[in-house]
Homo-oligomer: A and B are copies of this chain.
Amino acid sequence: MSKLIQVNGFAIFSPVHLSPGLWRHPDDRSLDFSTLDYWTDVAKILEAGKFDSIFIADGIGIHDVYAGTADAALNTGAQIPKLDPMLLVSAMAHVTEHLGLGVTAPVSYEPPFTLARRFSTLDHLSKGRIAWNIVTGYSNTASRAVGRDSIMAHDPRYDLADEFLDAVYALWEGSWDDEAVVVDPIRGVIADPSRIRKVHHHGAHFKIDAIHLVHPSLQRTPFLFQAGASNRGKDFAARHAEAVFLGEHSKAPTAANVAETRARARAFGRDGRDIRFYALLTVIVGETHAEAEAKYRDYQRYIDPKGSLALLSGWTGIDLSRYSLDDPFPTVKKDNAVTSMIDSFSRSERPWTIREIIEHNGIGGRGPVIVGSPTEVADQLQAWVAETDIDGFNLSYAVTPGGYQDFAELVVPELQRRGVYKTGYAKGTLREKIFGPGQARLPSSHPAARFRHHAAVEPQREPTSA
**A interface, CB within 8 angstroms of B:** 13, 15-16, 21, 23-24, 31, 34-36, 40, 60, 62, 69-71, 74-77, 80-84, 86-95, 109-111, 113-114, 117-118, 120-122, 124-125, 141, 144-148, 183, 185, 188-193, 196, 206-211, 213-215, 304, 306-307
Contact = CB atoms under 8 A, between A and B. Distances in A.
Nearest to A111: B146
A125 to B, nearest CB: 5
A193 B70 contact: yes
18 contacts: A21-B188, A34-B124, A34-B215, A35-B124, A60-B117, A70-B193, A71-B193, A74-B191, A75-B193, A81-B191, A83-B213, A84-B118, A87-B89, A88-B90, A94-B94, A110-B111, A146-B208, A148-B207
A381 B370 CA distance: 66
Contacts of A146: 111, 113-114, 208
Nearest to A306: B188
A120 B83 CA distance: 8
How many of these chains are in the complex? Answer: 2
B147 A62 contact: no
Question: Which of the listed residues A36, A40, A206, A210 has the most CB atoms from chain B within 10 Å of its own CB?
Answer: A210
B210 A145 contact: yes
B188 A90 contact: no
Contacts of A109: 110-111, 113-114
Contact of A81 (B60, B74, B210, B213): B213
A139 to B, nearest CB: 11
A36 B114 contact: no
A160 to B, nearest CB: 13
Contacts of A80: 191, 213
A84 B212 CA distance: 12
A94 to B, nearest CB: 5
B91 A125 contact: yes
A193 B74 contact: yes
A75 B185 CA distance: 12
B189 A75 contact: yes
A35 B125 contact: yes
A91 B124 CA distance: 14
A76 B208 contact: no
Given A94-B91, A125-B87, A147-B208, A81 B114 contact: no
A31 to B, nearest CB: 7
A24 to B, nearest CB: 4
Contact of A145 (B82, B89, B209): B209
A93 B188 contact: no
B114 A191 contact: no
A103 to B, nearest CB: 11
A197 to B, nearest CB: 11
Contacts of A113: 60, 109, 145-147
Contacts of A210: 141, 144-145
Nearest to A82: B213
A121 B74 contact: no
Given A34-B215, A75-B189, A81-B215, 12 more contacts: A23-B190, A31-B183, A36-B125, A70-B211, A83-B124, A87-B89, A87-B118, A87-B125, A90-B90, A111-B147, A113-B146, A145-B208
Contacts of A120: 83
A213 B90 contact: no
Nearest to A215: B81
A80 B71 CA distance: 47
B191 A93 contact: no
A28 to B, nearest CB: 10
Contacts of A306: 188
A190 to B, nearest CB: 3
The CB with the most chain B CB atoms within 10 A, among A90, A110, A148, is that of: A90
Nearest to A180: B74
Contacts of A70: 193, 211
A182 to B, nearest CB: 9
Contacts of A88: 90, 125
